[in-house]
Each structure stands twice: as structure tokens, then as C-alpha cells.
Structure 1
Amino acid sequence: MITSITVYCSSSNLAPREYFAAAADLGRELARLNIGLVFGGGRVGLMGCIADAVIEQGGTVRGIIPRFLEEREAAHYGLSELHVVETMHERKMKLAEWGDAYLVLPGGFGTLDELIEVITWKHLGHHRKPIILLNINGFWNPLLLFFNRIAEQRMITEEHGTYYSICNTVQEVLEVLQSLNQ
């Protein structure tokens, strides 16, 4: 049962508008489905957008932000809970622990780091949580091709594709979430 979901996504305000629209739609739908949001604690970029949408619909939002990013990522003080931690490692650990599933929207190096970490942990048997990639406009396609390439080179197993679900639309994400909650 998915009662909370950790969302990894961009803190950039320069992301394409359709990514912001998708983040807002997802936030509203998470609140409607009574699925709490766990995220990086910033009020900027897609992070802030999805958090604001959940809050506007009366949903629960837990943020985790390291002290040194409190100003840089503009910590979101309007959350149900905001946890200020000392290190990125502590933030990533809490993000990984507190969600029942992971949803990965477009993002940069930090998002990529978080995605690779939860996939690696799943591969190693550290968790069995669902991982969902929102592949808006094929954003993740180059990475997925790279995964296939390293599987062809036998650096990872062919089963890597079973570790995550790829959704091209918000509606597909909602269908996956609803199937997980049946």
C-alpha cells in the first residue's frame, strides 16, 4: 500500500513549462489519492511546484533539506513537516526511507544521483519499493538507452528493466499508483 511517495525532481526554475504543469497535476492527484509527498524540501523548481500543489489540495508534505541548502534551494516553510539535516547523505537516506515508492520527474545531477541510488539499492536487495520514472517528452530516453548499452556490455544484468516503471504521462503514473494500491 502506497501511503507516501518520495519524489525526486529538479530544483531549477528554468525547466520547460510542461514539466511544471505535470508536477502540479501530480501534486493535486497525490493529494486527491491521499498519498503523502516526501521530497527535498525546497520551494523552487519542480520541487516547489509539486509541494505547492499538494498543499493547495490539503495533502501532507514532508520535506528534508540540508542546512547548507536551506537558502540556496529556498527551504519551503509551508509544509506539514520540514526537517533540516546536516548532510546530503542524511537527506538522501531519509528520502529513501520515508516513501513507500519513488517517483522520478525530470531533473539534473541531484535527481540522477537519487535515481541511480534507489535503482542500485533495489538491485542489491536493500528495498523492494516501486520506482516510477515520469518520462515527459522522452526526457529519460537517453539514460534508458545507456542502461541498455551497459546491459549489452554485461556491466549490469538484463533484469534492470524490471526495477522501474516508465510512464510517459501523468495519467500513466496515476494508473501505476492505483494498481499498487489495489
Structure 2
Amino acid sequence: MLCGRRALAANDLDKQFVTKTDVGAFEETESPIEERRAYKVFQDIGLARATKGAKVFIAMKGASDSGLFIPHSPSKFVGWDGEDLQAEELANRIFMKENCSYMEHLKENDEEKYKLQFGGYVAKKIEPGSIEAIYKNALKKIGAEGAKVEKKKAEYSGKKYENKKKISLAERKERVAARLAEE
């Protein structure tokens, strides 16, 4: 989603094409008739397998929700039952509900394994129940302001790097002779 918002912001289209708020729903970006059209983007998945629920399709869903026009069908999304898309099941996958329930299971049953597998979450004091709120907050921030923030550049003018000069053949032979004399 962030990639799509930045692409639109770079061309001043981020205000015209807003992000979709319903995460699990299937909607393609529609262009207003009189105004500029959304970018039409085709996804090349490369060597990734085109299986149902693959991460490349979740990334495509995020880019499509950001406002890019990516022609696709919902048949590759988790929650597709052959006739329609179960939006809640797709949203659960995006917000890591299965991972959160596994985290809670490990936390209750095997504290040591929980700390081993989810040590990054433990270090940042992130509880399994708060992950969905973190993701929703991140999506809101991306939708509100997806433009790239310029970082402050570091000053390197005070540092000096020396370029060592090559030593001549005669100097090299003297060093070898001196080392051999030491032994």
C-alpha cells in the first residue's frame, strides 16, 4: 500500500485517488470520467508460485487499495470460495489473526518457546491482541500521508580518509629482508 501511495504522491494524484478503507472487500480502482485516470499497473510475480493466498497477491491487494488500477480477479485471495470473496477471512489474514492466536497459545502453554519465536515482539512489548490495532493504525497513516519523508542527511565533510601510497619494489624487498633477518 505504501508503494502505491508514494507512486501516486510523486505525480500529485494522491488527493484524487484515495485509499479504500474496507480492507477485506474486493474493489477495483475506478477513474472519474472527466479527470485523470489512475495508473494502470500489471503485476509480474516472477518465479513466485501463483497459489491461492500467496503473499504476492496480498501485496497486489495493498497496491490496488492504495489507488493504483491493477486489473485482477479475487480468485487468488484467501477467502474465495468459488463464487464470492469472504471479506472477513481476507481481513483476518491481512491483520495476522492466525499468527496472533498462535502467539496467545504459545504464551499460555510454552513461555520459553514463545520468547524464542516472538522475541522481537516481546522486546518491543507488543501483545498478540494489539497487533491488529497496530496494522490498522499503520494503514490509516499510509492513507492519510503516503508521501516519502525526506531524511536529514549526515555531514561527512569532517572525516578524512587517507589513501596509502604504493611502496616501490626496492622498499618491498627491504621489508622482506628485514623480516627474514628478524627470524
Report if TM-score (shorter chain) is over 0.5.
Answer: no
TM-score, with structure 1 as normaliser? 0.30
TM-score, with structure 2 as normaliser? 0.30
